[in-house]
Amino acid sequence: MTTADLGNVDVLVIGAGNAAANAALQARELGASVAMLETAPKEARGGNSAFTGGAFRFTFRTVEDLIALAPDIRDLDLANIDFGTYTTEQYYDDMHRLTQYRCDPELTEVLITDSYAAAQWLKQQGIRFQPALGRQAFKVDGKFKFWGGLACHLLGGGAELVKGLHAAIDEVGIPVLYDTTAFGLIHAGGRVEGVRARRGGEDVELRAKAVVLACGGFESNPEMRARYLGPNWDLAKVRGTRFNNGWGHRMAIEIGAATDGHWSGAHAVQWDMNAPPYGDLTIGDRFQKHNYPFGIIVNARGERFVDEGADFHSYTYAKYGHEVLKQPGLFAWQVFDQKVVHLLREEYRIARITKEIADTFEDLAPKLAGVDAAGFLETVRQFNAAPRPQVSFNPNIHDGLRTYDLAINKSNWANRLDAPPYHAYGVTTGITFTFGGLSISTRAEVQDTTGAPIRGLYAAGEIVGGLYYHNYGSGTGLVAGVVFGRIAGRGAAEFAAAGA
């Protein structure tokens, strides 16, 4: 396909990931002619959506709500599975607590109230859901109990999400132009009329009655990371796509778009220290290491530097990557004993992993590359000697098994490390996406610096600012992409039809 094949469409969507695909599908459902531009080649399409593990945070009250999305749940031993609930009130509490009450109240309301409908919409597009057993629920005394607000994941994760959405795009005949980077907006007569793009070394203009920016954050751009996030962020590994370079932010700001959100903040996790600089689609998200609440994390001095058990990993993983970047050498080691190894997720068992095993800590210490052995041994000694209450370890709840009298106490799941052999995993920081973005209305209209909508310009996905500050609850991003992608697609189609 060439740029000439696109012609003048009603809605031009920039990007080809979750938010972009849902914007395109919604606009097409409303009768608009739609085309999509994707910087990446076809085999690398989908932005960060292709790398996600598939957590999807939506409200539900009963198991019947879940069965409506994943009918196979009915075949499980439901008498021994406690799915709990995740009400709008619980969702609000999580968003407010995690963002230190900074999340935009109007956008947050739309996100939460439309979250279950977003899951239903994905199901209609052929995307399948599955219960998150073993990821968000562990078997204790013969029963599973869900925690962290996440009952379901997308079956097959990001790879199947992108595959399914693009199958739906193909079915309704939406053309996607790959290897094409939009770098400027055509803005005339008080409205956006298309984009300037680069393809095969040539600059072209593509006209449209409305444009949806759904092309991700700026996490793939080392210069922008250093400029906005701060020192050493240019050295962080990128958890996902190499193609999110901030073009959407820049071209919108150039025509007067307002910014919103936490521009010095980002979603960043603990990531294998020897992972490649950018995400590898053959590995997906499996370089991540999220089971640290069940062990300890030490830095180059051999010292602990966070409360590993402060909360479930779903509520701390996106900020603890930041803490690793603050450590000497920008790395750390996670350490576990045999009492919890069976709880570690599949990503701890991949072939490409930085891992050491030993029967004693004296043997393990010199194997931890870059770590002061004496400091590590003293840290383990102090951790094991710290007083604890007489409560049982339970990974499904805040069990209160905590330490006392340490410089940094562990608040939950503080088993002593005394069951060899011991496993250690080397990690660094892997950035997922940036929090700073464009200011939008609840209709997904990009707003200018006066607060007025820029006519014909909409945005959705990680390019949107205002939802995340300081921290992030797992599974929220995919939901926001669907919710605001659909709203953006609907608004763009209606704007195009009105000929405004």
Gap between the terminal Cα atoms of the chain: 30
Q: Over 90: is that where the pLDDT of 133 sits? A: no
Q: What is d(CA 313, CA 152) in angstroms, rounded to the nearest whole number?
A: 16
Buried b (16+ CB within 10 A) or exposed e, 32-51: bbbbbbbbbeeebbbbbbbb
Place 500 in a pLDDT band, splitting at 50, 70 and 90: low
pLDDT digits (tens, 9 = 90+) for 86-111: 999 999 999 999 999 999 999 999 99
Q: What is the mean pLDDT of residues 192-197?
A: 98
How far apart (Å, rounded) are the C-alpha atoms in residues 468 and 104? 9
The SS3 of residue 438 is strand
Examine residue 492 and state whether it is found in any structural domain, yes or no: yes
Q: What percent of the chain has a predicted confidence (pLDDT) above 70?
A: 98
Considering the domain boundaries, does residue 131 fall inside one? yes
Give the CA count within 13 Å in the CB-facing half-sphere of 375.
13
User: So what's the pLDDT on residue 382?
Assistant: 98
Domains of the chain: total: 2
492 has pLDDT over 60? yes
Q: Residue 135: which pLDDT band, with cuts at 50, 70 and 90?
A: confident
pLDDT band at 147 (very low <50, low <70, confident <90, very high): confident
Is the pLDDT at 420 greater than 70? The verdict is yes
Do 474 and 399 belong to one domain? no
Instruction: Supply the pLDDT for residue 134.
Output: 80
| Mean per-residue pLDDT over the chain, rounded | 96
223-271 residue pLDDT tens: 999 999 999 999 999 999 999 999 999 999 999 999 999 999 999 999 9
- What is the β-pairing status of strands 34-37 and 137-140? unpaired
Whether 143 and 277 map to the same domain: the answer is: no
**Torsion on CA atoms 217, 222, 228, 230, rounded to nearest 10:** 140
243 in a domain, yes or no?
Answer: no
Residue 263 lies in a domain: no
What is the model's pLDDT at position 5? 60
Which of 380, 397, 430 corresponds to the end of one domain? 430
Task: Looking at the structure, tell me whether residues 187 and 68 fall in a common domain.
Answer: yes
What kind and span of H or E run contains 117?
helix 115-124
Rounded Cα distance between 456 and 498, Å, is: 11
pLDDT score, position 91:
97
Query: What would the mean pLDDT of 477-492 be, rounded to a whole number?
Result: 98
Q: Are residues 9 and 132 in the same domain?
A: yes
For residues 283 and 334, membership in a common domain is answered with yes
pLDDT of 487 above 90: yes
Same domain, 358 and 443: no
Last residue of a domain, one of 430, 457, 487: 430
Rounded to whole angstroms, the Cα distance separating 161 from 154 reads: 7
Kindly state whether residues 340 and 440 are assigned to the same domain.
Answer: no
The verdict on 39 and 186 lying in the same domain is yes
DSSP 219: T
Helix, strand, coil percent content, the chain, rounded in steps of 5: 35, 25, 45
pLDDT band at 335 (very low <50, low <70, confident <90, very high): very high
DSSP H helices in 292-405: 317-325, 361-364, 373-385
For residues 307 and 235, what is the distance between their CA atoms, to the nearest angstrom?
25
pLDDT at 1 over 60: no
Give the CA angle between residues 87, 446, 48 to the nearest 5°: 65
* Domain carrying residue 150: 3-219+435-498
- CATH number of the domain enclosing 458: 3.50.50.60
Residue 232 lies in a domain: no
Distance in angstroms (rounded) separating the CA atoms of residues 204 and 350:
44
User: Which residue do the tokens 């390019």 mark?
Assistant: 463
Query: In sequence order, which residues have a C-beta less than 8 Å from that of residue 104 and are 6 or more positions away?
Result: 260, 466, 467
State whether 455 and 488 are in the same domain. Answer: yes
The answer on pLDDT for 56 being more than 90 is yes
Q: Cα separation of 264 and 226, whole Å? A: 9
Q: How far is CA 29 from the centre of its chain?
A: 27
What confidence category does residue 129 fall into, taking pLDDT thresholds of 50, 70 and 90?
Answer: very high
- The pLDDT tens digits of the residues spanning 274-284 come to 999 999 999 99
Same domain, 420 and 357: yes
The predicted pLDDT at position 496 comes to 97
Question: Are 441 and 395 found together in one domain?
Answer: no
Decide if 314 contacts 341 (C-beta within 8 A): no
Local confidence band at 177 (pLDDT 50, 70, 90 cut-offs): very high
The pTM assigned to this predicted structure is 0.95
CATH number, domain of 355, equals 3.90.700.10
Asked if residues 94 and 473 have their Cβ atoms less than 8 Å apart, the reply is yes
Measured distance CA(52)–CA(58) in Å, rounded: 16
pLDDT at 137: 85
Bridge partners, 358 (sequence order)? 422
Q: Please name the helix (run of DSSP H) or strand (run of DSSP E) that holds residue 492, with its range, or none.
A: helix 476-498
Asked if pLDDT for residue 3 goes beyond 80, the answer is no
Q: Which of 405, 430, 455 is the last residue of a domain?
A: 430
Is residue 441 located within the same domain as residue 422? no
